[in-house]
Structure 1
Amino acid sequence: MGISKLPPSARPSPEPSASSYGLIEEDFAGDDFQLLVVCIFLNKTKGDRAIPAARSLLLQYPKPEILANASYDEIKIYFRDLGLLRRAWWLIELSKIWLIDPPQAGKIRNKMWGGSIQAESEVAHLKGVGLYASDAWRIFCKDNMYEKAGMKVMESEWKIVKPKDKELRSYLTWRWAKEGYDWDPETGVATERSLETGDCDRGMSCLTIDDSKGDRRLQQVPLGCVLKGKAEGEPVATISDIATDELMKRLADLGL
């Protein structure tokens, strides 16, 4: 099966019960180095073109020890049809830095750009690693690094990251939904869903809304338009008639 030309964020979102979302980063979550290589290929390049090239390179250069010894001419052929040939040099330099100053648990680095911090993480010092690659690494790899180092993680890193990249945002919206929460990508606030969420259409959330007559109704609002139990935007559809006393009591117990 070929790679879809539509990015995951442009496709129907998988059900929360699905085992994966469909991002290429999920495939490389177990290898910090390879994930960063993939992220550099995806920099300003569509996935249907970048992903096959990244996989092809990693078959020949799967480890930093191997890639660090490659020549620019050997690596640039993987970018010949993608553009931004300087990325070949980035990968070689990233590999060299990895060997002498590898990412370490507990050692946070900064990537400066224009006098301000562009990225902040354990891998931000590596060549070619900007905000997107840093955020992707934090979401998919950081917890594994700390676990291997025997360092306790108070909260999963993916629950803390607020990425700007739309694909990572779509992934985290789905990941939070698996936990039973609606997540706002702008604020990073996750709000527990209503007990009646199971009655909602795909991609929607159910809330109780006070209408102009003082009656409370269960209504649908798009995911991402929910914050602190209130709908930020117009409801899409009514799920039921006026809520029963029993249901209202259940919602009141939840603080809704």
Structure 2
Amino acid sequence: MSIPREAWQLLVEFKLSPDFLSDSSLSDAPSDFDWDEPDLTPILPVISFPPKSPPCVPLSTNENPRTPVKGTSLLIPESNKAPRVKSAKLSPYFPKVLADAESCLPFPSINVPSFGLIQEQLAHDPFRLLIATIFLNRTRGGVALPVLFKVFDRYPTIEAIAAADESEFVSMIRCLGFQNQRARKCIALAKTWLTNPPHKNKRYRKLHYPRKLDGRDVGRDECINEEDLRVAWEIAHLPGVGAYSLDSWRIFCRDELRDKASDWQGTGATEVGFVAEWKCVLPQDKELRAYLSWMWLKEGWIWDHNTGDLTAASDKMMRAAHSGGVAHEEDGNWVLETSPVKAVNGLHGSE
């Protein structure tokens, strides 16, 4: 894999391993990027052909784990194929093998105030939170966040991002991939925010969110008020806002925008029957699912991310939740290990 000069500079500056730029850096957040102009040149392997190539066969995902651009097919000469042996990856963070390492996650004690997601830090700054979701979409936090904070230093206000030179913005985030699309979305989001910022009484459709067919009864350019019972969202008109951005914003920002509470945890809520917005979200991103599992455990419940169903946590589970440890995925749900496990200091879901 060829790594651009800008990426090497960031790796050296932030003491990151080159593994951060491998395919393992892609999250399972629903992709908010279109495929009509993918910027995967530095990521996909370059395959050259001899002058007279023998018959070609498709490159299977088992032989090369990289995902080709939609609508294309990677081909290699049949005689040039060579088996690739993947070396075992052992993480120093887990004292024993609990499950597939890629499906494990350090799980902080429910007694601590923060799970460790960047969204928690930006909950009172919804514009920056949405910019962060554009950076994090399909990119590991260890790669995206250092670049994100560099961008915030260079463009400290919404006005500054709206006036940013696109080529300069692209050069700052080139190592993330999809740099042209990310830059355009960030700049367009800032411009739209300045002219039409989110308001609790102005909601717009987002087709098929959060469920299929949602939003079809709302016009493309229609703006509906707070009392309208149709499904629509206060930030759905902003460029670059997809399912991952909406899930993050609903969990951490929506209650404050709607004057329901002073934060996402329901602080200061006075409305009879108030239910915090985070309790209504069923995200697809695994870190957001882990966060909500942690939040529900704080209230004594085991949460099913597919249905939202709740099951009372056992005493054994609650003791483990107070101690913290390691969680693993089972059918998309995070399950906290109840056996004694050494806690991982300072490494939470978004790290």
Identify the structure with the greater strand proportion: 1
Letter of the aligned partner of 2:278 in structure 1?
W
Contact residue 203 and residue 223 of structure 1 kept, 8 A: no
- Report the Cα distance in structure 2 between the residues aligned to 1:51 and 1:25, rounded to whole angstroms: 11
Tell me, in whole angstroms, the C-alpha distance in 2 between the residues paired with 1:175 and 1:149. 17
Match of 1:99 in 2: 194
What secondary structure sits across from 1:81 in the alignment? helix
1:133 aligned onto 2:245: yes
Other-structure match for 2:312: 192
User: Could you tell me which of 265, 271, 292 is aligned with 1:172?
Assistant: 292
Which residue in the other structure is 1:55 paired with? 149
Higher mean Cα deviation, 169-178 or 55-64?
Answer: 55-64
Change in CA separation of 1:199 and 1:88 when aligned onto 2, cut-off 3 Å: closer
Contact residue 184 and residue 224 of structure 1 kept, 8 A: no
Name the CA shift for 1:149/1:92 in 2 (closer, same or farther; >3 Å): farther
Unaligned runs of 5+ in 1: 205-221, 226-235, 238-256
**Aligned partners of 2:246, 2:15: CA distance in 1, in Å?**
28
1:162 aligns with 2:282: yes
1:13 and 1:181, CA in 2 relative to 1: closer, same or farther beyond 3 A? same
Matching residue of 1:231? none
- Structure 2 SS opposite 1:74: helix
In structure 2, C-alpha distance between the alignment counterparts of 1:14 and 1:162, rounded to whole Å: 21
Partner of 2:118: 24
**What SS class does the counterpart of residue 202 from structure 2 fall into?**
coil
Partners of 2:318 and 2:214 in 1: how far apart? 44
Deviation per CA, 1:70-111: give whole Å up to 9, x if none: 111121122211110211011110011111111111432223
RMSD: 3.5
Whole-angstrom distance in 1 between the partners of 2:110 and 2:234: 30
3-state SS of 1:104 partner: coil
Say if 1:120 and 1:134, in contact at 8 Å, map to a contact too: no
Matches within 5 A, 1:1-256: 10-85=104-179, 86-112=181-207, 120-147=232-259, 154-194=274-314, 196-197=315-316, 201=320
Q: Which has the higher helix share?
A: 1
Provide closer, same or farther for how the CA distance between residues 106 and 81 of structure 1 changes in structure 2, counting only shifts above 3 A.
same
Distance 1:166 1:97, change over 3 A: same
Task: Tell me the amino acid that sits aligned with residue 199 of structure 2.
Answer: Q
Higher relative CO (CA 8 A, sep ≥ 6), structure 1 or 2? 2
d(CA) in 1 for partners of 2:190 and 2:317? 47
Amino acid of the structure 2 residue aligned with 1:126: L
Tell me, which stretches of 5 or more residues in structure 2 are unaligned? 1-13, 28-101, 216-230, 263-268, 332-337, 340-351
**Following the alignment from structure 1 to structure 2, what is the Cα–Cα distance between the partners of residues 199 and 80?**
44
Q: Match for residue 241 of structure 1?
A: none
Q: Report the residue type matching 1:185 in the other structure.
A: H
> Relative to structure 1, is the Cα distance of residues 44 and 117 closer, same or farther in structure 2, using a 3 angstrom cutoff?
farther
The amino acid that maps onto 1:157 is E
Q: Distance in 1 between matches of 2:146 and 2:16?
A: 9
Distance change >3 Å, CA 10–CA 111, structure 1 → 2 = same
1:10 CA displacement: 3.6
Query: Which deviates further from its counterpart, 32-41 or 68-77?
Result: 68-77
Render the CA deviation track for 1:19-78: whole Å, top value 9, x for unaligned. 111111111111000000000001111111111111111122232222111111121122
CA 1:121–1:28: 2 relative to 1, 3 Å: same
Matches of 2:152 and 2:175 in 1, distance apart? 17
Note the C-alpha offset of 1:127: 0.7
What is the TM-score with the length of structure 2 in the denominator?
A: 0.52
Q: Write the distance in 2 (CA, Å) between the matches of 1:147 and 1:59.
A: 30
The alpha-carbon deviation at position 198 of structure 1 amounts to 6.2
Q: 1:39 to 1:129 in 2, by over 3 A?
A: same
Give the Cα separation in 2 of the matches to 1:181 and 1:223. 17
The CA deviation string for residues 128-185 of structure 1, in whole angstroms up to 9 with x for no partner, is 1100000000101111212289997621100111111111101000011111111110
Would the alpha carbon gap of residues 3 and 123 (structure 1) be closer, same or farther in structure 2, given more than 3 Å must change? farther
- Aligned residue pairs, count: 208
Moved more, 56-65 or 21-30: 56-65
Most deviating of 115-124 and 36-45: 115-124
Q: Is the 8 A contact 2:207 2:213 kept in 1?
A: yes
